[in-house]
């Protein structure tokens, strides 16, 4: 139903408008020519018109969500015959696997082509990074559109009431971090952090999908545990490197909203230590939840194994206690006697 409703709504809204107005919805706005060593390059900054572009891609995200649900997840669900709780979690993980895989590939392409990985100094050099390449700005607009589209999807997917607070917290955290990096001109650092976060989330939701298809297969959860710990370490290292050592060395340390400098003025020694302390506390809380999850998972695994051993031991003891089947008679002086006391007749052998 959603896949048919949204295209009709889209064409009713944007059918009569001119091509010039349509570009306002489709393409990023606020392009400027920035002089470079090789000449001039078209780059972008942000403004209120970005909200119109984000609105357009919210509709696109709703359509893609419905396509993935109808043509992939619903068909798999019919074969698995999952319960209502598992059905809801399977749909959630299926959608997020598709999104995280796409975002990891896209984000990796952006950071490699822009040279943010090969040159880590570019994460803080020449801050504030007011002007963005097309692919960086477009990536951020699509990310904001996706997480905003997740709000109406809570209604379309008929998410259970007890699941809504958890999903709202997740959506809010992503929106705050992505919008914060975009508006505070920390887009380069934000790209690397999103890449690490999405990589860990992809393995987690992929492990859940495999678990729903085969509850005895938990190998991908072990892979996710390793990836999660590694990405947390890289994330904390990046925070310390950029916020503790990189940004404090930027020449312009004054607050200048007109030029996009919102952040460096916070990096006096006490403020820098407070920010890093908050970051460390947040990462510590994430690791604590992860350790708690792993301990609970291992406890459930060992309880299941011990219950299976007890069941097997009880079955073996029951089998040993079962009485042995006796012959139809009894032995007397080495000869089998019938129950009436007579000896059984011997069978004559035919001569060859």
> For the residues of 126-160, what is the DSSP string, one character each?
T----SB-HHHHHHHHHHHHHHHHHHHHHHHTT--
* pLDDT score for 137: 95
Among the ranges given (8-17, 112-121, 144-153), the one the predictor scored with the smallest mean pLDDT: 8-17
Residue 276 CA to residue 103 CA, distance in Å, equals 28
Token pair in block for residue 308: 């299976």
pLDDT value of residue 271: 66
Residues 308-317: pLDDT tens digits? 788 877 777 7
For residue 255, the model assigns a pLDDT of: 60
- Read off the pLDDT of each residue in 251-260 and give the average, rounded to a whole number: 62
Q: HSE (CB half, 13 Å, CA atoms) of 15?
A: 6
Q: Are 28 and 138 in contact (CB under 8 A)?
A: yes
Tell whether the model's pLDDT for residue 262 goes beyond 80. no
Q: What is the CA radius of gyration of the chain?
A: 32
Q: How far is CA 90 from CA 34, 100, 208, 265, in A?
A: 47, 15, 8, 46
Residue 192's pLDDT band (cuts 50, 70, 90): very high
Whole-angstrom distance, CA of residue 181 vs CA of residue 116: 15
Residue of 258, 260, 241 lying closest to 249 (CA atoms): 241
Arithmetic mean of pLDDT, 52-56: 94
Instruction: Report which of 221, 217, 229 is spatially closest to residue 204, judged by C-alpha positions.
Output: 221
User: What is the spatial distance between Cα 283 and Cα 236, in angstroms, rounded to a whole number?
Assistant: 7
The pLDDT > 90 percentage for the chain reads 38
Model confidence at 149, pLDDT cuts 50, 70, 90, reads very high
Q: Which range is least confidently modeled, 12-21, 44-53, 302-311?
A: 12-21
More confident residue, 121 or 104: 104
> What rounded mean pLDDT belongs to the chain?
81
Query: Which pLDDT band holds residue 286 (cuts at 50, 70, 90)?
Result: confident
**Lowest-confidence range among 52-56, 199-203, 261-265?**
261-265
H or E stretch covering 226? helix 219-239
Q: Please check the confidence at residue 270 and state whether its pLDDT lies above 60.
A: yes
Residue with tokens 């009569």: 16
Quick one: how many helices (H) and strands (E) in the chain? 10, 4
Between the CA of residue 211 and those of 34, 80, 98, what are the distances in Å? 51, 12, 17
Burial of 339 from C-beta contacts in 10 A (0-12 / 13-18 / 19+): exposed
**What pLDDT sits at residue 178?**
95
Do the bridges between strand 39-44 and strand 330-332 make them parallel or antiparallel, or are there none, so unpaired? unpaired
Residues, the chain: 352
- Residues with Cβ < 8 Å from 227, sequence gap 6 or more? 199, 200, 203
Measured CA to CA in angstroms, residue 233 lies from 8, 33, 123, 226, 253 at distances of 47, 38, 18, 11, 28
What is the pLDDT confidence band of residue 242, given thresholds at 50, 70 and 90? Answer: confident
pLDDT of the residue at 201 = 95
Report the range of poorest mean pLDDT among 141-145, 151-155, 250-254: 250-254
């Amino acid at each position: 139903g959603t896949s048919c409703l949204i295209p009709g709504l889209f064409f009713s809204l944007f059918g009569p408008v001119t091509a010039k107005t349509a570009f306002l919805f489709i393409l990023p706005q606020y392009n400027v020519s920035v002089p470079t060593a090789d000449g001039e390059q078209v780059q972008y900054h942000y403004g209120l018109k970005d909200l119109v572009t984000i609105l357009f891609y919210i509709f696109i995200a709703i359509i893609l969500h419905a396509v993935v649900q109808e043509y992939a997840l619903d068909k798999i669900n019919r074969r698995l015959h999952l319960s209502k709780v598992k059905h809801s979690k399977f749909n959630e993980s299926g959608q997020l696997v598709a999104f995280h895989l796409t975002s990891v590939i896209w984000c990796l392409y952006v950071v490699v082509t822009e040279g943010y990985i090969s040159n880590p100094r570019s994460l803080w050099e020449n801050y504030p990074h007011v002007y963005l390449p097309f692919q960086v700005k477009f990536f951020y607009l699509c990310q904001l559109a996706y997480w905003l589209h997740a709000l109406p999807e809570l209604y379309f997917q008929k998410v259970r009431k007890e699941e809504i607070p958890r999903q709202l917290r997740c959506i809010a955290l992503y929106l705050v971090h992505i919008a914060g990096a975009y508006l505070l001109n920390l887009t380069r650092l934000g790209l690397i952090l999103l890449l690490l976060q999405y990589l860990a989330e992809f393995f987690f939701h992929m492990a859940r999908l495999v678990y729903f298809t085969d509850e005895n297969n938990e190998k991908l959860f072990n892979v996710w545990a390793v990836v999660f710990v590694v990405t947390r370490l890289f994330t904390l290292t990046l925070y310390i490197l950029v916020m503790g050592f990189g940004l404090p060395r930027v020449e312009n340390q004054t607050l200048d909203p007109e030029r996009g400098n919102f952040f460096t003025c916070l990096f006096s020694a006490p403020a820098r230590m407070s920010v890093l302390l908050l970051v460390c506390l947040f990462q510590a809380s994430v690791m604590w939840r992860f350790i708690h999850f792993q301990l609970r998972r291992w406890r459930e695994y060992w309880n299941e194994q011990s219950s299976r051993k007890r069941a097997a031991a009880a079955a073996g003891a029951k089998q040993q206690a079962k009485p042995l089947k006796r012959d139809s008679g009894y032995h007397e002086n080495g000869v089998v006697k019938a129950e009436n006391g007579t000896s059984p007749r011997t069978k004559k052998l035919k001569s060859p």
